[in-house]
Amino acid sequence: MERFLGENFEVKSKNSSEEALQRWRNLCSVVKNPKRRFRHTANLSKREEAASMRKTNQEKFRIAVLVSKAALQFIGGPPTQTPGEYFVPDEVKAAGFQICAKELGSIVEGHDIKKLNSHGGVNGVAEKLSASVTNGLPADETLLRKRQEIYGINEFAEAEARSFWVFVMESLQDMTLMILGICAFVSLIVGIAMEGWPKGAHDGLGIVASILLVVFVTATSDYRQSLQFRDLDKEKKKITIHVTRSGYRQKMSIYKLLPGDIIHLGIGDQVPADGLFVSGFSVLIDESSLTGESEPVMVSADNPFLLSGTKVQDGSCKMMVTTVGMRTQWGKLLATLTQGGDDETPLQVKLNGVATIIGKIGLFFAIITFAVLVNGLLTRKWHEGSYLSWSGEEALQMLEYFAVAVTIVVVAVPEGLPLAVTLSLAFAMKKMMNDKALVRHLAACETMGSATSICSDKTGTLTTNHMTVVKSCICMKVKEVNGPVEASSFCAELPDSAVKLLLQSIFNNTGGEVVTNKEGKREILGSPTETALLEFGLSLGGDFHAERLASNLVKVEPFNSTKKRMGVVLELPDGGLRAHSKGASEIVLAACDKVVNSNGEVVPLDEKSLDHLKVTIDEFASEALRTLCLAYMDMENGCSPDNPIPVVGYTCIGIVGIKDPVRPGVKESVAICRSAGITVRMVTGDNINTAKAIARECGILTDDGIAIEGPDFREKKLEELHEIIPKIQVMARSSPLDKHTLVRHLRTTFKEVVAVTGDGTNDAPALHEADIGLAMGIAGTEVAKESADVIILDDNFSTIVTVAKWGRSVYINIQKFVQFQLTVNIVALVVNFSSACLTGNAPLTAVQLLWVNMIMDTLGALALATEPPTDELMKRTPVGRHGNFISNVMWRNILGQSFYQFIVIWILQLKGSLIFGLEDSDSLTLNTIIFNSFVFCQLFNEISSRNMEEINVLKGILDNYVFVAVISCTVLFQFIIVEYLGTFANTAPLSFSQWFFCIWIGFLGMPIAAILKLVRV
């Protein structure tokens, strides 16, 4: 079976080929309810249509943009003729605005610089929107509501949520239930005609009631799942961005943006609405999502158009929102992006394969059973010589045989298997949300359970991301500066010229900002590293705003993980130009040829001074401090905005050591991973000594592990890489390409299942390459989150371990359910088939089999697929990439339990009347005992299936209220069916001793299951 599943029902956890997705669909021939079975699988035909439509839209938009740009070049600058006069619609005027949404849309979408200039440029448009490019929109609620009425909201059209009755209708489309419904109808007609009302209607009504019960229980379960997915979709849409309103910078949901809002964009942000560039530096925009063009576009005052859905590849800027929601091109495209649904998960596909195999076997047995039963009836009539005359009773008997055969198909085709995966994943995803992990793709949840390797960032994941400057080496003097008092005393020891240079570097060469919030308190915005440096500058007595006003920013090259440095060029008050650089200490220091000495003088950087600075960097790093070097250069030859900032010839101002403490619980989490067979590797851009110190503190770096730097890793030959990669535990000074290469080798060469964390734009390729991409929810950019499968909302490594535990729980829970369901399948098939062949009738009627089907399908999935994870799960070795899903342990339990149940039922059929002292005419009571014993065998087997290997299956049973509720409800309904619904369910009330016997027979399955677990396989 595993070989067949591997060849035909194997898909990747992500990026599966269309061929692989289509292949398994073609093999699923025995499907009772395609609507329900394939609800959570991709609609390939619709996906193809959507892709074609999307491509057409992209091409149209690309051509429009190119035509607009060509026209602009042809015109060659300012418009030579005045554009047609624009008339403001009355309702827009009445609301206090001077430009309508349609005009704004045509300016930005058409890249129409002529039209923009005719409205007075960006400032003119801001004025017509009653906004300010400095202070943004006024925060008055009445004005905001008016603006919303005129220009719309920044929300996109969504598919309407499906109601409960839609799920009821889908459940009714089960082919076997339809056939049983027809049988019930015929039974009603014939029964009433023969025996009158109500006696003749009992059999038919019993089947109808069973069908309705199955339909409503199934629909309720499916509807609850849909609600869970809807809640998760809401969480995915919680995206915030920095906005200036009423002069205050604040975080705001992108769905609250309105035209006129001033938003702040940085590397990795997705542009949330159409807008116009206000100010910024080196802004490169990736427009491939809209136009299909891979070449990034430079956005500046000359080309100020920013489009919703595009991504900031480099630089930072302020943008004024002009068009929102469905008026944007992205809003129109977005509808096609989600059509076709997500790819199905590997487990869903594998279980579709299992369901298909068993379904075909079940169909074969059903046909044989029907043939044997009909043959028995025809043979009897032949011997009696009455084969030409048929009574109503014999017609009903024939109908009952057909209903039994159809019901065997109902029970035999485990339609619930693939859906149990979805149920378990939905349950796990909802619970993981509470544990600070947002799952974006279903497959990631189950794949994480097979993970054998985690490549984790250091900053913010293993550490707290609360950074402070605790040591510095300024003017060659090393000093602890842990706190404002120490910093101010250190400042007093430094020459004024050096302090001035230091503050100029800190406050100008930064991606952060010091602002005053609504409460009037000072607030520092920016990354943790920028925040730490700005706090240090303020503690030295610096004034952020005064320093920024003292000089003019000419050029900015923002920090990125490839260059590992940031640079700015300032125009000084005296008219000269000065470049400031900061970044990875050894990289910036290597660009320096001079240094500021203890007297504040600029002197050549000789070997002695260089050694002193290198030793200082190593000392700081060995204390697990993040080191940054600050440097400057006076640019006597000037600087062209088009040329990059020089990379050599700098003067070193000093080194700062930033403390970023290890998160509490990380060491314990790493130890849990090690005991679970998961290798944790640290991949960081930091100094190797800092990385090693943190790795040792976390328990990642061991005596036999290797710590390597990215440049060294890059130079290794393929044979050397194959030798060292399994031993690598720390990679420092790594580039995104190094991370991608490491992940690719681990996956392809060493067949590991790899989880990777990332927060930056450049991490997207590694997140995409990995089996499970984990993006940081706090520090992560929107580009990283979009490429990820799971978002770690608290950026904590311990949460990653929790995700792994939930992943294992999903995998184990599905295995438990499969074990339980296959046992029921085998016993129900064999019992009904053998009984039909040997005795000429089936002991379990259609109504009884429908009830058994509900126990094992919907209720069984609810009970077993929602078991919460235990710490014991992290003491097992991971399944890995090619583990057998239906393991030998499962086959042992399935066959052992099936054999016991079959023997019990068979003995009851042959000797039941003798055991209970029943008359030959009292076959109804015997069949009820068989049915009752069979159900209790399944109930106790369900309890035994809670743990496939441990004997103590009752441990923690009361913690799972769903399991307890399902078992309790099943017992209650079984009692009602046997004692009070005999007319409809073909049962007879049982005595106390008979009830005790049935429960005892079921209970005996538990010690037998325990004995089976002692058998090693």
In eight-state DSSP terms, residue 680 is E
Helix %, strand %, coil % for the chain, to 5? 55, 15, 30
* pLDDT band at residue 78 under the 50/70/90 scheme: very low
Question: Hey, which of 170-184, 434-448, 986-1000 has the most confident mean pLDDT?
Answer: 986-1000
- Tens digit of pLDDT for each residue in 704-733? 999 999 999 999 999 999 999 999 999 998
Amino acid of residue 527: S
Answer whether the bond into residue 83 is a cis peptide, omega within 30°: no
pLDDT of residue 921: 67
Rounded Cα distance, 286 and 276, in Å: 16
pLDDT of residue 640: 74
pLDDT of residue 332: 72
Strand locations in 646-738 (E): 650-659, 679-683, 706-709, 728-732
Residue 2 in this model has a pLDDT that exceeds 70:
no
- Tens digit of pLDDT for each residue in 603-646? 999 999 999 999 999 999 999 999 999 999 998 877 777 788 88
Picking from 200-214, 470-484, 985-999, which range would have the lowest pLDDT averaged per residue?
200-214
Residue pair 749/727 in contact by the 8 Å Cβ criterion: no
Rounded Cα distance, 123 and 397, in Å: 86
* pLDDT band at residue 129 under the 50/70/90 scheme: very high
Residue pair 680/456 in contact by the 8 Å Cβ criterion: yes
Rounded Cα distance, 267 and 656, in Å: 25
Q: What is the dihedral of CA 976, 981, 982, 986, to 10 degrees?
A: -100
* pLDDT band at residue 472 under the 50/70/90 scheme: very high
Residue pair 583/645 in contact by the 8 Å Cβ criterion: no
Q: Is 592 helix (H, G, I), strand (E, B) or coil?
A: strand
Q: Is 139 helix (H, G, I), strand (E, B) or coil?
A: coil
Residue 902 in this model has a pLDDT that exceeds 70:
yes
User: What's the mean pLDDT when you consider all of the chain?
Assistant: 84
User: Where is 376: in which H helix or E strand?
Assistant: helix 346-384
How crowded is residue 751: how many other Cβ atoms within 10 Å of its Cβ? Answer: 11
DSSP for 188-253 reads HHHHHHHH-TTGGGHHHHHHHHHHHHHHHHHHHHHHHHHHHHHHHHHHHT--EEEEEETTEEEEEE
Residue 261 in this model has a pLDDT that exceeds 90:
yes
- Tens digit of pLDDT for each residue in 394-418? 777 787 787 777 777 777 777 667 7
Tokens of 831: 């019992």
Rounded Cα distance, 21 and 644, in Å: 48
CA neighbor of 516 nearest in space, from 241, 142, 135: 135
Residue pair 194/393 in contact by the 8 Å Cβ criterion: yes
How crowded is residue 17: how many other Cβ atoms within 10 Å of its Cβ? Answer: 10
pLDDT of residue 786: 82
Q: Is 454 helix (H, G, I), strand (E, B) or coil?
A: strand
Looking at per-residue pLDDT, the higher value among 24 and 805 belongs to 805
The yes-or-no answer on residue 457 being catalytic is: yes
Picking from 76-80, 362-366, 968-972, which range would have the lowest pLDDT averaged per residue?
76-80
In Å, how far from its chain's centre is CA 692?
A: 31
Residue pair 921/851 in contact by the 8 Å Cβ criterion: no
pLDDT of residue 533: 94
Residue pair 310/285 in contact by the 8 Å Cβ criterion: yes
Tokens of 551: 């000089």
- Tens digit of pLDDT for each residue in 488-530? 888 888 899 999 999 999 999 998 888 887 777 888 888 889 9
Residue pair 934/852 in contact by the 8 Å Cβ criterion: yes
CA neighbor of 945 nearest in space, from 893, 885, 996: 893
Residue pair 568/555 in contact by the 8 Å Cβ criterion: yes
- Percentage of the chain with pLDDT > 70? 92
- Tens digit of pLDDT for each residue in 47-63? 777 677 767 766 766 67
With both helix axes pointing from N to C terminus, report the angle between 202-236 and 175-195 in degrees, rounded to the nearest 10: 150
Rounded Cα distance, 295 and 266, in Å: 19
DSSP for 270-327 reads BP-SEEEEEEEEEEEEE-HHHH---S-EEESSSS-EE-TT-EEEEEEEEEEEEE-GGG
What are φ and ψ of residue 471, in 5° steps? Answer: -140, 150
- Tens digit of pLDDT for each residue in 535-560? 999 998 899 999 999 999 888 888 87
* C-alpha to C-alpha distances, 1003 to 26, 30, 907, 945, nearest whole angstrom: 42, 34, 17, 13
User: Where is 32: in which H helix or E strand?
Assistant: none
CA neighbor of 968 nearest in space, from 956, 994, 976: 976
How crowded is residue 546: how many other Cβ atoms within 10 Å of its Cβ? Answer: 10
Rounded Cα distance, 887 and 756, in Å: 28
Catalytic annotation, pick one of 457, 686, 738, 857: 457
Rounded Cα distance, 287 and 285, in Å: 6
Angle at 874 between CA 868 and CA 875, to 5 degrees: 130
Rounded Cα distance, 488 and 470, in Å: 13
pLDDT of residue 796: 87
In eight-state DSSP terms, residue 835 is H
Average confidence (pLDDT) over 163-183: 80
Rounded Cα distance, 46 and 52, in Å: 10
Rounded Cα distance, 699 and 669, in Å: 9
Rounded Cα distance, 959 and 962, in Å: 9
Looking at per-residue pLDDT, the higher value among 382 and 999 belongs to 999
CA neighbor of 765 nearest in space, from 749, 780, 787: 787
User: Where is 561: in which H helix or E strand?
Assistant: none
Amino acid of residue 98: Q
Average confidence (pLDDT) over 212-221: 82
* pLDDT band at residue 532 under the 50/70/90 scheme: very high
